A and B are shown apart, each in its own frame.
Chain A
Amino acid sequence: MLEATAVTRRYGKTTVLDGATLAVEKGRVAAIIGANGAGKSTFIKSIVGLIHFEGSIKIDGVDVARHGKRARRLVGYVPQDPAFHADLSVKETALLYANLKGVPAARAREMVEVAGLADHADKKTGALSGGMRQRLALAVAQLADPPLLILDEPAAGLDVSARLDLRKLVDSQKSAGKAIVLSTHWLEDVPYVADHALVLDQGKTVYSGPATQLAAPGAPGSKLYLRLNGHSPEAITLLRELPSMGAVAHTGDWVVVNCAATQKARVVEALVGAGISILDFRVEEAPVDAAVLHLQSLQRGAR
């Protein structure tokens, strides 16, 4: 569905995207990962045809650089910070984009309802919250039921519940046979939602391969801070015995556990199973930089 080959973007002497390559089949999800300024949005905007690039991008065989309008018929795009005409209402906005996509007005009304915005249909988009704007953007992106969905940092600014909804949406679209490209710096989501990961660092590709590598043993994981009800020594002993667990230490009132992002729930399960109650907890996700370093070492090892 999407074939991007050696996509490069230069601004003067600065190369912000250097030969990025990505192929996504129908029913597959690719995640573009990187810190701020890594080139994620540049790559995504290139795919949509919003910026000019070197290299080749084809959507279902349609060349984006030469036939951008035709290619965009196949794409639903949700930008990082969706912007709508503030003086139009939600339903007028959906109708405007439906007209541009050549979709009947009934479909616009349907998508407003599906997005859970029916009660806000007459509200001006300028009065919508960030989360509502995001939902409207998703509704607009799906108006023409496009075979390729492109989501630029869709999880940014969303609360946990909205992120779970997003995961469900990605799963359902994937099951419906859509190809999905999303950019994120939320590493912990990637192994759950994506099949393929493309990791960018300062415009260069540092990893391109299965997304499961991001949750593999040795991958930088989460740091879990737990405040336990006076059972820290037993908890530390218990947790150190769990397989695939990183360092477990005691800092002040807190027990600090290093583990893979996918193992966090096992920590909680083990403690509750042993009758140790958890008074409080915090989670610190691995920074993207750490993942980049880890994946670079994996790539070097593979050569």
Chain B
Amino acid sequence: MNAIITLGSKELGDAFRSRWLIAFAATFAAVALMLAYVQDDAGTVGEQGFNRTTAGLINLCLLLVPMLALILGASAIAGERERGTLASLLAQPVSATEVLVAKYIGLNLAVWGAIAMGFGAAGALVALFQPIADIGHYLLFVVLSAGLASAMLSLGMLISVLADSRVKALGGAVLLWFVLVLLYDIGAIGMALAVSSSGRTLALVALGNPVESIRLLAIMSMEPDLEILGPLGAYLTEEIGTATSVGMLIAGVAAWTVAPLAIAARWFAHQDV
């Protein structure tokens, strides 16, 4: 436990010095502030409210959070291995699993911090003009973004363990981001529609990608009837019910968080340094 706290704290500090995280936090906060500050037709500042700001932030989050988490995760082990510091750490009374878990926790806290900063800045601005009771969906989406970051970080760390150089790990992370965030809609969902356009098939396809699962959860929180999702919305709300759908999607994201990390830990423990 001592090793996890020591290495996790170090990782958190390193992450906050990382230019990736600083760039992300600054960009995210700036865009979030812009969305919150946008003026309505009457020219009233902040009139967008929490729900409108949340809706505006969804696409931004689904693009930026996976990118940041995948890149930080992919650099975690491969970078240390390349610099030779991994051997120095693993020559101490620590296990490979402790090093991996410590890095995961430290990076997770750093990414959550960056997300909180972005959402916090926008939220504070909106709260000046809107009743605080309207903040529920907004906070929920902060939590969903944190969940997405955890799943993506886990995938990034798996890439980091498998890659034999930092460049390859980063390449793998960018490729995975491209597939999950940009290609998945066209590729997997398109193929699923070609095979069967049933809501069940589409739900299964959505479970195959944590980004899609988070997107659905965010939409469900804002548009509970899910009419905009067509057969998928009907399946989730009418056939299996909203509560079960939410549970299923959360379980899917949790599985995407735990499984890659567990595989990475097992693989890492069997690797030579």
Contacts and interface: CB of A to CB of B under 8 A. Distances in A.
Contacts of B95: 68-69
B271 to A, nearest CB: 8
A51 B14 contact: no
A53 B117 CA distance: 47
B247 interface: no
Interface in A72-119: 72-73, 75, 77, 79, 81-87, 96-97, 99-102
Nearest to A70: B93
Contacts, number: 64
A86 B14 CA distance: 11
B19 interface: no
Nearest to A82: B88
Contacts of B273: 45, 50-51
Interface of A: 45, 48-52, 68-70, 72-73, 75, 77, 79, 81-87, 96-97, 99-102
Contacts of B272: 45, 50-52
Contacts of B270: 52
A77 B83 CA distance: 18
B258 interface: no
B93 A101 contact: yes
A36 B2 CA distance: 38
A128 B93 CA distance: 25
A84 B91 contact: no
11 contacts: A45-B272, A52-B272, A69-B93, A79-B84, A79-B87, A83-B83, A84-B85, A85-B10, A86-B83, A87-B14, A102-B93
Interface string B71-107: 0000000000001110111111111001000000000
A85 B6 contact: no
B87 A100 contact: no
A260 B83 CA distance: 40
Most chain B CB within a 10 A radius of its CB, from A73, A85, A86, A102: A85
A100 B94 contact: yes
A14 to B, nearest CB: 14
Nearest to B3: A100
A84 B90 contact: no
Contacts of B94: 69, 72, 100
Contacts of B98: 69
Given A51-B273, A87-B14, A87-B17, A100 B83 contact: no
A81 B84 contact: yes
Given A50-B272, A51-B273, A101-B92, A83 B6 contact: no
Contacts of A73: 93
B133 to A, nearest CB: 45
A194 B85 CA distance: 29
A268 B174 CA distance: 66
Given A51-B273, A52-B272, A102-B2, A85 B92 contact: no
Given A52-B270, A68-B95, A99 B2 contact: yes
Contacts of A49: 90
Contact of B92 (A79, A83, A87, A100): A100
Contacts of A101: 92-93
A51 B270 CA distance: 9
Most chain B CB within a 10 A radius of its CB, from A48, A79, A83, A84: A83
A223 B192 CA distance: 78
Contacts of A86: 83
Contacts of B87: 45, 50, 79, 83
